[in-house]
Homo-oligomer: A and B are copies of this chain.
């Protein structure tokens, strides 16, 4: 409306509107730079800039030699589902029930905890282990990236093993009593972009999960999920 707005914004907003209201469905081609200059009566710089902004937002994707297209954004599939007494979160089973195979890959390497991890585990900045999991769908598409920090003594490779180690460590009768998750969103780090095969402009959901045994935190993990393809489900009885 305001004619004082930069002209490239006029282009951005017009195309964005067409994408969000469905006029331009996923996969539809966006006019090329040359076409945009003619259509909106703007210079090539403005046309190019508009395309770059839209691509940066993750709404369109440019294929060199071909053109810009509205990005496919499949319906968000639930990645894992929290349900009362339904722990640990069986997201793999969830996906398998949808007919998708899930494969794992991991790579462990010991590391000192950073200050934030130490704070979360209420530990000095030592005696920790970093384990990075890569989780893939059967078709090879990446699902998530998880890094967990545990007391080094707890470095076990199955949930069962770990739980019994926890039990040994903390004496008899130790039991995870509460799981706290904190969700926020941020730009992916370069490693995450690679591992999760993220397009430009896609943010990640960062879930910090901490397992508590009474008033003692036992294990904490960072779960990183592509924000454009997945959702995290929480379900609580009232």
A179 CB contacts on chain B under 8 angstroms:
235-236, 238
Identify the interface centre among A56, A59, A177, A183: most chain B CB within 10 Å of its CB: A183
B236 in contact with A182 (CB, 8 Å): no
What interface size band does chain A fall in? Answer: 35 or more
Cα-based distance from A201 to B227 in the complex (angstroms) = 14
The answer to whether A228 touches B180 (Cβ under 8 A) is no
Binds B, one of A100-108, A122-130, A149-157, A185-193: A185-193
Q: Which residues of B contact A236 (CB under 8 A)?
A: 82, 84, 87, 178-180, 236
User: Cα distance A20–B191 when bound, in Å?
Assistant: 13
In Å, the complex CA distance between A187 and B227 comes to: 10
A237 at the interface (CB under 8 A from B): yes
Confirm or deny: A197 has a beta carbon within 8 angstroms of a beta carbon on chain B: no
The reply on A68 being an interface residue by CB < 8 A is no
Q: Which residues of B contact A227 (CB under 8 A)?
A: 184-186, 203
- The answer for the CA separation of A179 and B187 in the assembled complex, in Å, is 29
Query: Complex: how many Å from CA A103 to CA B76?
Result: 33
Q: A187-B57, A189-B20 are in contact. Are A178 and B234 (CB under 8 A)?
A: no
A66 CB → nearest B CB, Å: 20
Which of these, B56, B177, B182, B228, contacts A186 with CB under 8 Å? B228
A84 nearest CB neighbor, chain B only: B236
Which residues of A in the span 45-103 have a Cβ within 8 Å of any Cβ on B? 53, 56-59, 76, 78, 82, 84-85, 87
Task: State how many angstroms separate the Cβ of A211 from the closest Cβ of chain B.
Answer: 8
A203 contacts B189, C-beta separation under 8 Å:
no
Q: Contact partner of A181 among B20, B59, B204, B233, CB < 8 A?
A: B233
Query: Are the C-beta atoms of A238 and B184 separated by less than 8 Å?
Result: no
Q: In the assembled complex, which residues on chain B have CB atoms less than 8 Å from the CB atom of A181?
A: 233-235
Instruction: Collect the chain B residues with CB atoms within 8 Å of residue A20's CB.
Output: 189
Known A-B contacts A87-B238, A203-B227; the reply to A232 vs B176 at CB < 8 A is no
Q: Is A15 an interface residue, CB under 8 A from the partner?
A: no
